[in-house]
Amino acid sequence: MSAKTADFEIRNLCASVEGKPILQGVSLKINKGENHALMGPNGSGKSTLANVIMGHPAYEVTGGDILFHGQNIVELEPEERARLGLFLAFQYPVAIPGVTVAKFLKTAVDAVRGVQNVKPAEFMKELRENSEYLEVDKAFLNRFMNDGFSGGEKKRMEILQMLMLKPGIAIMDETDSGLDIDALKIVSKGVNRLVGPAFGLLVITHYERILNYIKPDHLHILMQGRVVLSGGPELVKELEQKGYDWVREKFGEEVLVV
Amino acid sequence: MSEKSAEQVLADSEYKYGFVTDVEADTIPMGLNEDIIRMLSEKKGEPEWMLEWRLKAYRRWLKMKEPRWANLDFPPIDFQALRYYSAPKKRAEAEIDPELQKTFERLGIPLHERNRLEGVAVDAVFDSVSVATTHKEMLKEKGVIFCSFSEAIREHPDLVKKYMGTVVPYTDNFYAALNAAVFSDGSFCYIPKGVRCPIELSTYFRINAMETGQFERTLIVAEDDSYVSYLEGCTAPLRDRNQLHAAVVELIAMDNAQIKYATVQNWYAGDKEGKGGIYNFVTKRGHCRGRHSKISWTQVEAGSAITWKYPGCVLEGDHSVGEFYSVALTNNKMQADTGTKMIHIGNHTRSTIVSKGISAGESNNTYRSLLQILPDAKHCRNHTQCDSMLIGPLCKANTFPNIEAENGSAVLEHEATTSRISEEQLFYLKCRGIKEEDAVSLVVNGFCKEVLKQLPLEFAVEAIKLLEMKLDKSVG
């Protein structure tokens, strides 16, 4: 990794929930143009990391920094982080009854880009294109946000939001969980539409299956609140073959020291 | 991370209509007795029959007890410590006091013909009297009568005598009797047979004077095959004492007639500690007298320290339809006990109830309804949807639906939900760049959507702004 400051960097991040430490010194660097994957067993702190990056109020940051374009964002409100170009695709998207998908997306796009920069006609055109790309039916845009959506529909909606908001760095929190192969393909297709020099990605997952569609350049393994191993795509295969026990065996002692 | 909970955002919102207009008032002494009522009636230059009706109501009221069955908590009201009439002085014929014009302009209701609102006729009521009614001439050409109640007593006594008190008699309840005894003004609308009222009619109620109760009366009569849409708005200054507002509204719909009645109630609700604010004790009832007639109530109740009202429909004409769409928002220490009554008398009568209660702060929000199917009413239907939303841990939401179905052919459906604006919902919206205030108002507007869409467009915009104002700390 080069010496220059990364576009997005987590330094020795510690966080707890209700006084219980979960993250115990996480460090990560993500540059735009890179695809990172973060794997780890249940309870290792993966979702906590995603929530802390966005500033979830239930988590307390007890140490460390999160730098986005060199700016420490730890003290910022979630909406300020979003406006800087951070995006989280939720593991469990929340329903907003009475608010249509179209209204929700317009509100979000206005908020992130600034309402004066959003021309309604262009917004509609973009929304149409992106919906078609994700094979989202037009009628869907008039349904209430995530209200009565199937798991797959919710995840597709997260990706539609991501395409509309065009973040600089996106985190996908187990977007692949519970998706059938067709849904997974569409979701991946959506993400790959953004992949490029202006987009950095962190895919959090249990399963390497999604990594067949969204090819990571970097893989990190999180255990007991720390990144215990980072490597290239070859690591994905190794993990697939050997399982987590291999990692635990290899790094268990170090983890215990913490 | 500085975290501001949804309930704080709500508590911080300011009331922006709390100013006082400095006008010289023509008042009568405080207190209530037969002489006061005579004085009031004389000031208004009323005919003898009107005074007699008032006195009968007063004598009846003396024998009645203040109802205490509602889920409300407030100290006894001293009816002798109130003033029952206060009107702005110096009102030459056809001339509106410039101070009053300014007041209504500040409230967004220009009264001058030059810049009056298009597409809506306004009757502006300031304390005890109507100060102006716009678009009257144009309505007159269509045969529509829209004027202050006082003018109706003078100009259309036969109509007033025929209909007043026939839906809400003065014997109805304590506050209805009080209103009948001391009501000072209000609006009167008469839509003749076959006429579709070309514009929205509205009344804007403004309480200004201190220690004065506002007791207005509205009567709307829609003859066969007619249609009218009526809007009501209200505000009051910030005062640290409670003020009483006890109105009566009567609607009458004949064969195939339709009346839509919408209220956006934004009386002053008191401060965060619950000091001051309006006691809003209102009796509103519609009578579907004719076959296939229809009466719709839509209310957005966002003000008042205490709200006690149950706009209802008496569905007498066969195939008549009653509707009630309500949003009741309570915050801080506000209390609301509101809902509806649907009385099914005719065959094939239908009613729809959609109630959305939002409670925040330490407020107490009660939904109460009576759905009655009389023994001879065949094939009636009702659909009730009753939803409550809680914001914060200290507020309360209660639901008391009463159903008395005495005819087996009725089809009744009742759905109810209770939800909470969750931290997860707000976090989700904030992660999409939406700031907390906007997130709360998005969730609340979504929750109220079914009701808000019943309002005429301009009014819906006003109502959304009102809800947002109640939710947005920065406005005020």
B275 shares contact with chain A (CB less than 8 Å)? no
**CA–CA separation, A78 and B382 (whole Å):** 44
Burial B425-447, CB ≥16 within 10 A → b, else e: bbbbbbbbbbbbbbbbbbbbbbb
Q: Which chain A residues have a beta carbon less than 8 Å from that of B442?
A: 96, 99, 104, 107
Interval B250-261: pLDDT, tens: 999 999 999 999
Q: Provide the token pair at A124.
A: 């509609």
* Contact at CB, B442 and A112, closer than 8 angstroms: no
Neighbours of B286 (CB within 10 A): 29
Mean per-residue pLDDT over chain A, rounded: 90
Residue A256 has pLDDT above 50, yes or no: no
What residue type is A121 in one-letter code?
A: A
B89 HSE (CA, 13 A, CB side) = 7
**What confidence score (pLDDT) does residue B210 get?**
65
Residue B451 has pLDDT above 50, yes or no: yes
What residue type is A45 in one-letter code?
A: G
Q: Of B1, B425, B445, which is closest to A94 when you measure between CB atoms? A: B425
Interval A200-238: pLDDT, tens: 999 998 877 888 888 888 999 998 899 988 988 788 778
Residue B475 has pLDDT above 60, yes or no: no
Helix or strand or coil: residue B410?
A: coil
Q: Of A88, A97, A98, which is closest to B431 when you measure between CB atoms? A: A88
**What confidence score (pLDDT) does residue B476 get?**
22
What is residue B420's DSSP assignment? E
Helix or strand or coil: residue A42?
A: coil
* Contact at CB, A87 and B449, closer than 8 angstroms: no
Of B14-28, B157-171, B192-206, the poorest mean pLDDT is in: B14-28
Residue B362 has pLDDT above 90, yes or no: no
Q: Return the CATH superfamily for domain A8-92+168-257.
A: P-loop containing nucleotide triphosphate hydrolases (3.40.50.300)
| Cβ-Cβ contacts under 8 Å for B96 (sequence gap 6 or more) | B111, B112, B131, B132
**CA–CA separation, A252 and A243 (whole Å):** 14
- Residues B97-123 have a mean pLDDT of 70
Interval B133-187: pLDDT, tens: 777 788 889 999 999 899 999 999 999 999 999 999 999 999 999 999 999 888 8
Helix or strand or coil: residue A178?
A: coil
Helix or strand or coil: residue B120?
A: strand
- Band of residue B1 on the pLDDT scale cut at 50, 70, 90: very low
Nearest-by-CA chain A residue for B387: A97
Most confident of the following: A46-50, A245-249, B198-202: A46-50
Strands B294-301 and B248-253: unpaired
Residue ranges per structural domain of chain A? 8-92+168-257
